[in-house]
Chain A
């Protein structure tokens, strides 16, 4: 078997030979004393045998949130020889932060588990590793063959951007929920005291008013209702710096919106518009949040402009048009504006949330032509937003908690008004 000696062993052996030859030729016996460690050291290293290792990789958690840390647990098992130094190095992948290698020593047949902290990268499905382990044998004398393990799958869930809309009574389907509505019916929110009518329950009787007036009175309440929310992700175009692109903002915002409304007992559905059309049927319950987060992991922009051009059309159903549609869009493609206008005409309450990051807008200060083009583009964008506003689709920039609250309140007022003229 061929030897893979380190430079240190070669240096020690060479120096030992030089010292011994000099001692023999000059009669300087003290040089033999100098040579002794340089004879024993390499001999000790070479008798240790060639180091071999086996390695395995697993993660402390298969799922993590953006910004959190998981441990890559690397199990290193030494073969029949001592391993005085094993270099454990996790392969860096594009978009992932590098992890510093870890050095560990093992006796023959010993097993050690090394935990390397890995920062969870951007949301999505990732592979962490693999891991390469390079062993060096006894006395750092001989190098063994490096072994490499395959990578481990890591699912990174999108960071839930904080979103807190006030409790507005959205146009609700007749379903129990946590939103206060104006519809009279069984609930906990008292709105009036009225004379008893046939069908009223005994526990609704307001005894104080009844005793004062002498006639039976009951407390009238409004129902607590729920609504459908459809979050539309416009993936026709993507822009912005890595980690803060349109898609990143949209996905994190969608997770936040879904989390908020599902907590109120509403149904939340998701639609990806752009490239391949994907939908997640609207459902209620906490399980839907997990389904939504899983669904969001597979949101991708079209591979190229041709695919974007041939994006599958979306035909909204009646359920969609009866819902609150929150469109997360950078408004970079007119097809999205047309779709939102169509949804509004069919009766849906639509809010367009502008998720174009500030970094995606080119700053002024370039050439005169570039500045002119920039101004024209901004004017066109403003005009598009104004046209959408005229059609009843307010456009608000995404700003996290409460950023679309005012718009939702306005929409509630609009929704409560008669719909004459809106078709």
Chain B
């Protein structure tokens, strides 16, 4: 009897450990760098309590990378928010809003990366479609929500409209371009 030879599989996946490391590792780096450098510049914050905070954030980020299903990711996000509040306390409302845009993106990416790391079992193989879809989702969320947030702030009158008009214009254009990606069925097979 002739038996079927061992099948040859096309490698379409990557080890989950790599995906988890890729997802959780940068989160720790972003958390530490965000606190160490800060939006005000390294010369201002890289001294005294800021260094302690950076070390604390790096440790928390590392813990979150190892245990993304625990409370550590929430701790990292709270540390980042606290750092943003401290670093922008002396800035004008316009400058704060401008700084808040990249900070919001970094915060969301850290959160989403930890979410992905938590959802992936350590011993799994990950299909490309999972990573591709995740990237599309995060891109869509950021490109729609951040400009929307800026518009909302603008509408409340807390920030002078003329100061953030370029941001609003760019954000609105990006949102218009990205919105179809969220509504139309994904075709990423």
A105 touches B127 (CB 8 A): yes
Contact for A40 among B107, B118, B144, CB less than 8 A: B144
- A389 to chain B: closest CB distance in Å? 37
Contact for A103 among B85, B93, B130, CB less than 8 A: B130
Collect the chain B residues with CB atoms within 8 Å of residue A82's CB: 186
Judge if A401 is at the interface, Cβ distance under 8 Å: no
Judge if A139 is at the interface, Cβ distance under 8 Å: yes
B130 touches A61 (CB 8 A): no
Judge if A351 is at the interface, Cβ distance under 8 Å: no
Contact for A84 among B130, B153, B156, B158, CB less than 8 A: B130
The answer to whether A11 and B74 touch (CB under 8 A), given A6-B118, A30-B99, A37-B141, is yes
Instruction: Please list the residues of chain A having a beta carbon within 8 angstroms of any beta carbon in chain B.
Output: 6-8, 11-12, 14-15, 18-19, 27-41, 44, 60-61, 63-65, 68-71, 82, 84-85, 87, 100-108, 110, 112, 114-115, 117, 136, 138-140, 157, 289-290, 293
Contact for B74 among A15, A33, A34, A70, CB less than 8 A: A15
Interface members, chain B 16-56 (any A CB < 8 Å):
16
Collect the chain A residues with CB atoms within 8 Å of residue B119's CB: 6, 8, 85, 136, 140
B81 touches A19 (CB 8 A): yes
Q: How many CB-defined contacts (below 8 Å) exist between A and B?
A: 182
- In the complex, which of the residues A6, A27, A31, A110 has the most CB atoms of chain B within 10 Å of its own CB atom? A31
Collect the chain A residues with CB atoms within 8 Å of residue B121's CB: 87, 101, 103
- A42 to chain B: closest CB distance in Å? 10
- B94 to chain A: closest CB distance in Å? 10
Collect the chain B residues with CB atoms within 8 Å of residue A14's CB: 74
Of the A-B pairs whose beta carbons lie under 8 Å apart in the complex, a sample of 7, sorted by A's number, is: A7-B69, A30-B99, A36-B152, A40-B145, A70-B4, A101-B123, A139-B141
Collect the chain A residues with CB atoms within 8 Å of residue B186's CB: 82, 107
Collect the chain A residues with CB atoms within 8 Å of residue B149's CB: 32-37
Q: Give Cα A114 to B6, complex, Å.
A: 17
Judge if B124 is at the interface, Cβ distance under 8 Å: yes
Collect the chain B residues with CB atoms within 8 Å of residue A84's CB: 130, 133-134, 137
Collect the chain A residues with CB atoms within 8 Å of residue B84's CB: 30, 34
Instruction: Please list the residues of chain B having a beta carbon within 8 angstroms of any beta carbon in chain A.
Output: 1, 3-7, 9, 13, 16, 69, 73-74, 77-78, 81, 84-85, 88, 93, 96-97, 99-101, 103-105, 107-108, 111-112, 114-116, 118-121, 123-127, 129-130, 132-134, 137, 140-142, 144-146, 148-150, 152-153, 156, 158-159, 182, 185-189
A34 touches B107 (CB 8 A): yes
Report, nearest first, the 10 A-B pairs whose CB atoms are least far apart. A36-B149, A8-B115, A29-B158, A30-B100, A37-B108, A40-B145, A33-B100, A33-B149, A30-B96, A36-B145
The answer to whether A157 and B100 touch (CB under 8 A), given A38-B111, A139-B137, is no
Interface residues of A, dominant DSSP:
mixed
The answer to whether A104 and B145 touch (CB under 8 A), given A15-B111, A157-B3, is no
Collect the chain A residues with CB atoms within 8 Å of residue B133's CB: 84, 105
Collect the chain B residues with CB atoms within 8 Å of residue A140's CB: 115-116, 119, 134
Collect the chain A residues with CB atoms within 8 Å of residue B1's CB: 157, 289-290, 293
- A113 to chain B: closest CB distance in Å? 12
Q: Give Cα A71 to B185, complex, Å.
A: 30
Collect the chain A residues with CB atoms within 8 Å of residue B158's CB: 27, 29
- B42 to chain A: closest CB distance in Å? 21
A41 touches B93 (CB 8 A): no
- B98 to chain A: closest CB distance in Å? 9
Q: Give Cα A87 to B123, complex, Å.
A: 11
Collect the chain A residues with CB atoms within 8 Å of residue B3's CB: 63-65, 68, 157
Collect the chain A residues with CB atoms within 8 Å of residue B105's CB: 37
A8 touches B114 (CB 8 A): yes
Contact for A30 among B97, B107, B148, CB less than 8 A: B97
A60 touches B118 (CB 8 A): no
Q: Give Cα A39 to B107, complex, Å.
A: 13
- A276 to chain B: closest CB distance in Å? 26
Q: Give Cα A222 to B165, complex, Å.
A: 107
- B137 to chain A: closest CB distance in Å? 5
Collect the chain B residues with CB atoms within 8 Å of residue A30's CB: 84, 88, 93, 96-97, 99-100, 153
